[in-house]
Structure 1
Amino acid sequence: MNKGLIALAFGGLAIGMTEFTMMGILPDIAKDLNIDIPAAAHLIAIYAMGVVVGAPTLVLFTSKYSPKHVLLFLMLLFFVFNGLFAIAPNHATLMISRFMAGLPHGAFFGVGSVVAAQLAKKGKEAQAISIMFTGMTLANLAGVPLGTYIGHHYSWRYTYIVISLLGLLTFLAIYYWLPKKADKDSNTADNHIFKQLRYFKTWEAWLLIAVISIGTGGLFAWISYIAPMVVQVGGLSADRVPLIMILVGLGMFFGNFIGGKLADTISPTKASIASFATMALCLVLVYFTASNSTMSYVMSFFTGMLSFTIGPPLQMMLINSAKGSETLAAAAGQASFNLGNTLGAFIGGIPIIYGLGYHSPTLVGAVMATLGALLAIVHLIYFINNRSKNLI
């Protein structure tokens, strides 16, 4: 396997851990700072805000530098600000450092997606991107449970010291393993800041942002409430939740590779339609089987797998839509994923407020995934009418 892709996967692991471990150690942070859990949860929202701000901004202002140097810079930011987060003395400094730690997230995956596609053999671009995202799936499978264990039994600060050091390890892996062709000068007219911004003048750009922000909300409407669902509706004990999350992570691991293969085989747009459609069907099935404890295990794996097939196809759709602005488009996609996270969690929680049960967010998720599929169909029609058939 290409060592450059492994280096990018290390980055996915580090970023996945810093984003998702927070959910598991939130009570520990609240106790340590003597604040309530809702106040501690602001650390989740502020990170997402950092991703949304940093994804397009850092890509634009580093566009004249080579991709390898940009990736090194982003992982240096990751290392520094996660380290500062680990030693921050109060809530205010934690919020600031957490926001700053979110800035490199989207830009890394944006630049990394383009680099991974360049490193791939022709026709294997989406599969190469899926290798980078393997790090994110491994974070959910093993890194997050490990980080949560350290946070519970020792200190949440130790968890983020480990995460910060993973950033340093990624920095070294990129420096030594990313090939020289990823370090070539990219200071061309195509990378000029104003030329890149022209991407957002196209309706296709905003259509893709809508596809991702709405469609992936289906995944987050489900996973945001999975713990209370399997306990309150499925009848599992609370100590079974880590096993449920491992099954979700294992499903995501396989789904990521399936999505990459699917996108290279039938085209990214068609793969996205298929992924959103199967996600919607799976979420409906989760709703009707949520009270069955055995099905809780089964559906955790399959929903994680089918939902995460969506990542590589969407990244390739973004890259293919943005000649000369590929990194900006891919980074904007990461910002859109985080918008999907916010929308899915917020809208998914509305039926719970009205007493419809902790399995009701899955129906909200099914609707959002269906809308994602419909919007992707609109995108497919756009390709048919406006581009050559070999790009469909």
Structure 2
Amino acid sequence: MPLAVYVLGLSIFAQGTSELMLAGLLPEMAADLGVSVPRAGLLISAFAMGMLVGAPVLAVVTLRWPRRTALLTFLAVFALSHVVGALTTDYATLFATRVAGAFVYAGFWAVAAGSVVGLVPAGSRGRAMSVLAGGLTLATVLGLSLGTVIGQHLGWRAAFWAVTAMTLLAGAGVLATIPGAGPRAAGGGEAGSGGARLGAELRAMARPRLWLAYATTALTTGALLASFSYLSPMLVTTTGLAPAWVPAVLALYGLGALTGITIGGRTADARPFPTLFAGVTGLVATSVALALSASVPVLAVVLILLLGGFGFATNPALNTRVFAVAPDAPTLAAAGNVAAFNVGITAGPWLGGLAIDAGLGYPSVSWLGAAIGVAALGAVALAARLHRTEAGVAGPEPAGTGEVRSAV
């Protein structure tokens, strides 16, 4: 496996740490900025908003840029956004930096995915993509808890500086390992065929089943993020844990996520719908149990481990599903799914914040997550029915091409 593939995976780790770490820093950030915890939680939604727009826009805008130029540009803007965020005392400015950083992070995902596919033989592409996506899983396991520890002991701004340093190191690695010449095109084709390929991908995006797959991604992600985004204040306020224990519990969540995505990755290709049914059903059941048991420390900790496991077990199937439905639109199908993940990441914390502001308490966000999860089950059931109907007429659809992004 080329060194460049691992460099890109570590670059995703650096940026993914920023994406995830705010869940463990909300109380400190709210106190420092003079805002409520739910309003601080909107900074998580701000990041998702940037990724929602950035993935499809930058996938097209940078179509003819050399890969190394695009990747370095995205990393430079991402680092600058964190410098400004670490220095500002204004909530609105910090909000804007989160949107800007996420916008280019989404672009990095799109270009990095094309880069790793181009760097390895066809028979090694699945492994290369797993290394890239593994950067975000590693951020869930290590980055989230380390960012929380740094924020609690040195202040949340120190966590932003740490992300800046990791991003600059990633940039040095990209500069040293990614080839500098040669424009890229959608789907990995030659630059001169970019316009024709883009037109073909746009036509493929009109398929209703693709948009149903996007809806499933958004609902499943929203169900998880409604609960996940407020775990830190819930553990302190409702469960009664000391703040020093929060990073350890979030690390358990990351361990559950790593286990879930590993199991889901082994079953998604052969059994996509059973994988989705099992994962979403487990997510709903765990959310209900967490809402009922949030005040019992032992139960809450175990359920948070399971929340990460069931939530991430669906991720490989959510990713490969869009490639099965639209195999002739790999670039925009992937970008659209990144956007769908971030619809859920945006909506989950926002709806959870509304519930908390209404005085319903932190356990209410788990009830909300369960309700969104039930809607996700409905989307999975409809997609499975349509698949069985069309498979009976046209035969089985092509297998997915693998995971492009592992989102929370």
Hey, what does 1:49 align to over in structure 2?
49
CA drift of 1:90 comes to: 4.5
Pair 1:338 & 2:336 matched: no
Corresponding residue number in structure 2 for 1:250: 255
Question: Distance in 2 between the 1:191 and 1:281 partners?
Answer: 47
The 1-side partners of 2:379 and 2:126 are apart by: 21
Number of aligned residue pairs: 391
The answer for the alignment partner of 2:325 in structure 1 is 321
Q: How far off is 1:322 after superposition?
A: 3.2
Mapped to 1, the partners of 2:285 and 2:238 lie a distance apart of 20
Q: Which residue of structure 2 lines up, in the alignment, with residue 168 of structure 1?
A: 168
The answer to which of 62-71 and 175-184 deviates more is 175-184
**Change over 3 Å in CA distance of 1:236–1:83 after alignment to 2:** closer
Residue 391 of structure 1: aligned partner: 398
* Offset of residue 273 of structure 1: 3.3
Aligned-partner residue type, residue 98 of structure 2: R
Match of 1:299, as an amino acid?
A: L
Q: Which residue of 2 aligns with 1:156?
A: 156
Tell me if structure 2 keeps the 8 A contact 1:114–1:326.
Answer: no
Matches within 5 A, 1:19-34: 19-29=19-29
> Which one-letter code corresponds to 1:61 in the other structure?
V
TM-score normalised to structure 2 length: 0.80
Give the aligned partner of residue 295 of structure 1.
Answer: 299
SS at structure 1 position matched to 2:268: helix
- 3-state SS of the aligned residue for 2:363? coil
Instruction: Give the alignment of 1:209-220 within 5 angstroms.
Output: 209-220=214-225
| 1:22 match: secondary structure | helix
**2:231 matched residue in structure 1:** 226
Is contact 1:129–1:312 with CA below 8 Å preserved after alignment?
A: no
In the alignment, structure 2 segments of 5+ residues that lack a partner are 400-408
* 1:275 aligned onto 2:275: no
Structure 2 CA distance for aligned equivalents of residues 96 and 354 of structure 1: 26
Partner of 1:285: 289
- The verdict on how the C-alpha distance between 1:72 and 1:319 changes in structure 2, with shifts beyond 3 A counting, is farther
- CA drift of 1:308 comes to 0.9
Is the contact made by 1:280 and 1:369 (CA closer than 8 Å) also made in structure 2? yes
Structure 2 counterpart of 1:345, one-letter code? P
Report sequence identity in percent.
29
Quick one: which amino acid aligns to residue 389 of structure 1?
A: P
Q: Name the TM-score, length of structure 1 as normaliser.
A: 0.83
Residues 69-93 of structure 1: CA distance to partner in whole angstroms, max 9, x if unpaired?
5434332332333234334474454
Q: Which residue identity is paired with 2:150? A: I
TM-fit CA distance, 1:37: 5.5
Q: Map of 1:369-384 to 2, 5 A cutoff?
A: 369-384=373-388
Amino acid at match of 2:382: V
Describe the shift of the 1:60–1:189 C-alpha distance in structure 2 as closer, same or farther (beyond 3 A): closer
Q: Is the 8 A contact 1:130 1:259 kept in 2?
A: no
Matches within 5 A, 1:94-173: 94-113=94-113, 115=115, 128-173=128-173
CA RMSD of aligned residues (A): 3.5
**Letter paired with 1:276:** V
CA distance in 1: counterparts of 2:91 and 2:348, whole angstroms: 26
Distance, in Å, in 2 between the alignment partners of 1:377 and 1:6 is: 37
Partner of 1:359: 363
Structure 1 alignment gaps of length 5 or more: none
Report the 3-state secondary structure (helix = DSSP H, G, I; strand = E; otherwise coil) of the residue aligned with 1:389. coil
Contact (CA 8 Å) 2:23, 2:228: kept in 1 or not? no
What is the Cα deviation at residue 155 of structure 1? 4.5
Compared CA separation, residues 295 and 120, structure 1 to 2 (3 A): farther
1:28 Cα offset (Å): 4.5
